[in-house]
Amino acid sequence: MKHNFDEIIDRTNTNAVKLERCKTLFGTEDVLPLWVADMDFRTPDFVLDAIQKRLEHPILGYTMPPRNFFSLFTEWLRTHHEWEPEREQVGFVPGIVPALAFAVQCYTEPGDEIIVQPPVYYPFFNVVKNNNRTLVYNQLVEEEGKYEMDFDDLEQKITSKTKMFILCNPHNPGGRVWSQKTLRKLDNICAKHNILVVSDEIHADMALSGHKHLPFATVSKSAASNSVTLMAPSKVFNMPGVVSSFYIIPNPKLYRKYAEFLEASEMNSGNIFAYQATVACYAKGENWRVAMLKYVEENIDYVMEYLREFIPQIKPMRPEASFLMWLDCRDLGMETDELHRFFVQKAGLGLNKGTIFGPGGEYYLRINVACPRKVIQQAMMQLKKAISFK
């Protein structure tokens, strides 16, 4: 089946966050908005068809998950990630970020310490601080163009109050697919100190060629018994507005506690469209997923080659997963705020400022390349022109 990822789709008047918040974030709407982590590709037809088919019925009443809702997800885990959790280890949750906040509320107390690894997806900070827990940084280190975990620093940061570690796997930004060796070492440390690992694996299905995602819970028996894994079809199938996610908790005691917390909060069920769209993704989505990742990787190749040839001052970190690229702009000789203004005012590009991802994000910007090739080409030309007049 042919998929047209070159199609330019106008998202104005759809309340798209990437457009509606430009004025607030960049001071102007006159930018190419390449910041929000959704795609500018058409949401797959099988998703739209499933929703439209449900709309043929005139009653949008209270709805149960379809009978194959969880079995399709567990089969996807088996075929794509060699993981075979039992049905009673899996549950529905309305969104990954809410799921993180629920885990913080469920398993820790105010004042407890929670470790994150910046630069990292910034809602990690919010779910800790907004729930009156203590945020602890275990900053990643860059080695040979890739992020690595600093285990010496991690061990030094752990105290008797450290109760949780929030893992980003694959990592955002930077697109790191963590190796088995790295995850096992993290597991050993967290198990030794009785620190629960909550693993955000929303980019699990977006590993690029030459890389394979490894769920944290699969690296050992201790990792399985000491972790909460969060996954979703929303990122890979471009339907984040539908809000459909899963938690996988192999430890029965931890599972029961989380499930009871969600039930008490009335947050353990989805909506008609989340159910129908998710079933469509896991039943019909593989062809589209493979084609989309191939196109995204070609966009990544284009950016890597263009910057190397025309703008060598900017050094991109090649992602091993997903459609987000992390740009090292230190050689441009600008501080973070000046750098951000330059990209907006001179290059006309709306990218994520690196500092929102925490320590280590200084002098960096994050760009989303999940868009038609013409848009990426336009962005690179605008950037080249701006730097040539700098």
Q: Are 212 and 178 in contact (CB under 8 A)?
A: no
- Tokens 């690196």 map to which residue? 354
What is residue 238's predicted lDDT score, i.e. its pLDDT?
Answer: 98
Compute the Cα dihedral for 105, 111, 115, 116 and give only its sign: positive
Sheet of 90-93: strand order equals 90-93, 245-248, 227-231, 196-200, 162-168, 113-116, 134-137
DSSP string covering 289-352, please?
Answer: HHHHHHHHHHHHHHHHHHHHHH-TTSEEEPPSBSSEEEEE-GGG---HHHHHHIIIIIT-EE-E
Does a cis peptide bond (omega within 30 degrees of 0) precede residue 170? yes
The CA distances from residue 42 to 6, 10, 47, in Å, are: 10, 11, 10
Question: 17-44+287-388 belongs to which CATH class?
Answer: alpha beta
Q: Token digits for 174?
A: 């930077």
For every residue of 40-85, which 3-state class applies, written as one string? CCCCCHHHHHHHHHHHCCCCCCCCCCCCCHHHHHHHHHHHHHCCCC
What is residue 1's predicted lDDT score, i.e. its pLDDT?
Answer: 65
Numbered ranges of CATH 3.90.1150.10 in the chain: 17-44+287-388
**pLDDT tens sequence for the chain (390 residues):** 689 999 999 999 999 999 999 999 999 999 999 999 999 999 999 999 999 999 999 999 999 999 999 999 999 999 999 999 999 999 999 999 999 999 999 999 999 999 999 999 999 999 999 999 999 999 999 999 999 999 999 999 999 999 999 999 999 999 999 999 999 999 999 999 999 999 999 999 999 999 999 999 999 999 999 999 999 999 999 999 999 999 999 999 999 999 999 999 988 889 999 999 999 999 999 999 999 999 999 999 999 999 999 999 999 999 999 999 999 999 999 998 999 999 999 999 999 999 999 999 999 999 999 999 999 999 999 999 999 986
Q: Token digits for 204?
A: 């699990």
Q: Token digits for 236?
A: 């890979």
59-284 folds as Aspartate Aminotransferase; domain 2 (3.40.640)
The CA distances from residue 157 to 116, 197, 210, 294, in Å, are: 11, 15, 34, 40
d(CA 365, CA 362): 8
- Beta-carbon count within 10 A of 239 CB: 25
Q: What is the pTM of this model?
A: 0.97
Numbered ranges of CATH 3.40.640.10 in the chain: 59-284
In terms of Cα–Cα distance, which of 144, 176, 146, 151 is closest to 165?
A: 151
